[in-house]
Structure 1
Amino acid sequence: IVGDGRLLDVVEGRDALGACRWLAQRPTGWVDAIGYVTLDLSGAYRLVADTMLANAVQVADPFHVVRIANERLDDTRRRVQNETLGHRGRKRDPLYRARKLLVLADERLDDDGRQRRQGLLRAGDPRGEVADAWTAKEAVRGIYQLDDPDVALEWTNELADTLTDPAYGPEVQQLGRTLRRWAAQIAAWHRSRATNGPTEAANNLAKRIKRVAFGMTDFVHWRVRVLLYAGRPDWTKLATITPATP
């Protein structure tokens, strides 16, 4: 995806090899001119950026950063649920009833919603581990309330150090380690404001194409259709509507 949201190509597989091969086939000057690359915190895509895009600034997509914080919160809630009640969440269980209130942004709740969340935590979170995970999630969201990139980097590193304290649950410590590994990329958003939004839009379109076709097993055929829809080609310059085989 380029800056205007146009899809350049689709490569097969989810590992680093396909993307690295594709970039290796591009002119050196073209690759060197790439200024930013947004990442969804995937290790494979970070490897691509490290290997092939040495001049580009890596930016961790804010949506995926916050999503990981919410996932660790959900993991904590499920573990505490099983440890305290001995079963998965049921509709009458306090933590199950609190699941949506916990992942919802705090500012989107009114006073009644906050009181309900706190009451459910008091009833179902005897050691305060879910509350700790919720606080960690909100602290991660707070990174994006900062304007200064240097302050954001300092805050992210301090938060990572805090969350990896053994006093916290394993899920919160895992979140802290993730923040530590990606601190520079997280803070880079404050300079670039680059996000993965255009990529997600193209990905949704690609999935829609496959859904409309009731599933496609031939990657080449699927790639052609995705590029025709999401690639926004200049039809006047196309000698054929069939892209070259990657």
Structure 2
Amino acid sequence: MVVDHDSGRLVWAAPGRDKATLAVFFDALGEQRCAQITHVSADGADWISSVVTDRCPNAVRCADPFHVVRWATDALDEVRRQAWNEARGAVTQRRAGRSTGQAKALKGARYALWKNPENLTSRQQTKLAWIATTDPRLHRAYLLTEGLRPIFQLPLAEAAEALDVWVGWARRCRIPAFIDLQRRIAKHRTSILAAIEHGLSNGRIRAVNTKIRPITRIAFGFATPELLIALAMLSLGGHPPVLPGRT
């Protein structure tokens, strides 16, 4: 799906999620109009970035902040699962049922680790305090994740400095998932800072996605996705056709 940042209208949609699908949109738009596009926001998928770079040479590419933070929460959950598996393995080795309950506690810690600090319940705060005491590596991964969130609220100059500090911190953290993440963030540094500078995100796309969900229910039983797309364009495209009987 392609959505207009200014109007919030659904501009175009097609089945598929790859370079060839996206290229169809730019083919339809034409070289002259592609050259007039000034800003494009998207997630960090390389296939989107490469097509946009090739077809929209004048466009500023902005990495969606939601997806960048999502990369960090995915890395955090990878560390949590690893800690859980290690704790479960330790319990298995004992073979006598003398578990301290650490594996069970880690399995239930996901929402405490993912939730914004200001929204934590007292029970979740206690869970985080327990993690800080019993698993320093997982707690360090949590701090790295939370350290990334506020960068997107800073002015550009401060955000650039804070992002570089965060990358350095993650590079030295000795947690493989976050070492990989800092490489990814360093690779997309320009588009991340562009999103902060221009205040762009994929919020428009997520809003359109929400509106398309009830349209999808209406489209149950349709033979092809093109019929669903036609309904979505009629409802969200902003250019309703003149219907028979209307003047």
Q: Please, what TM-score do these two structures have when normalized by structure 1?
A: 0.84
Q: 1:18 to 1:113 in 2, by over 3 A?
A: closer
CA positional deviation for 1:173: 1.1
Partner of 1:140: 148
Letter in 1 for 2:234: L
58, 66, 69: which is aligned to 1:66?
Answer: 69
Per-residue CA deviations over 1:47-100 (Å, capped at 9, x if unaligned) read 22111111111111111111111111111100111012228xx99722123211
Partner of 2:114: 103
Task: List alignment gaps of at least 5 residues for structure 1.
Answer: 240-246
Partner of 2:168: 161
Partner of 2:196: 190
Letter in 2 for 1:104: K
Per-residue CA deviations over 1:91-148 (Å, capped at 9, x if unaligned) read 972212321111111233367643431124424x2xx22111111111110211311x
CA positional deviation for 1:161: 3.0
Q: How many aligned positions are there?
A: 231
The residue correspondences of 1:16-165 to structure 2 (distance < 5 A) are 16-86=19-89, 93-109=104-120, 113-123=124-134, 125=135, 128-147=136-155, 149-165=156-172
Q: What's the C-alpha RMSD, in Å, of the aligned pairs?
A: 2.4
Is 2:21 the counterpart of 1:10? no
Q: 1:168 to 1:217 in 2, by over 3 A?
A: farther
Cα distance in 1 for partners of 2:55, 2:7 equals: 22
Cα distance in 1 for partners of 2:219, 2:240 equals: 24
Per-residue CA deviations over 1:153-211 (Å, capped at 9, x if unaligned) read 2322332233123x521111122112111111111122211111111122233343223
Q: Please, what TM-score do these two structures have when normalized by structure 2?
A: 0.83
**Runs (4+) of structure 1 moved beyond 4 Å?**
110-113
CA contact (8 A) 2:62 2:200 kept: yes
Partner of 1:242: none
Letter in 1 for 2:57: A
Task: Give 1 or 2 for the bigger CA radius of gyration.
Answer: 2
The alignment partner of 2:50 has SS state of helix
Per-residue CA deviations over 1:22-64 (Å, capped at 9, x if unaligned) read 2123243322221211111122211221111111111111111
Cα distance in 1 for partners of 2:105, 2:133 equals: 9
Q: Which range moves more in the overlay, 21-30 or 226-235?
A: 21-30
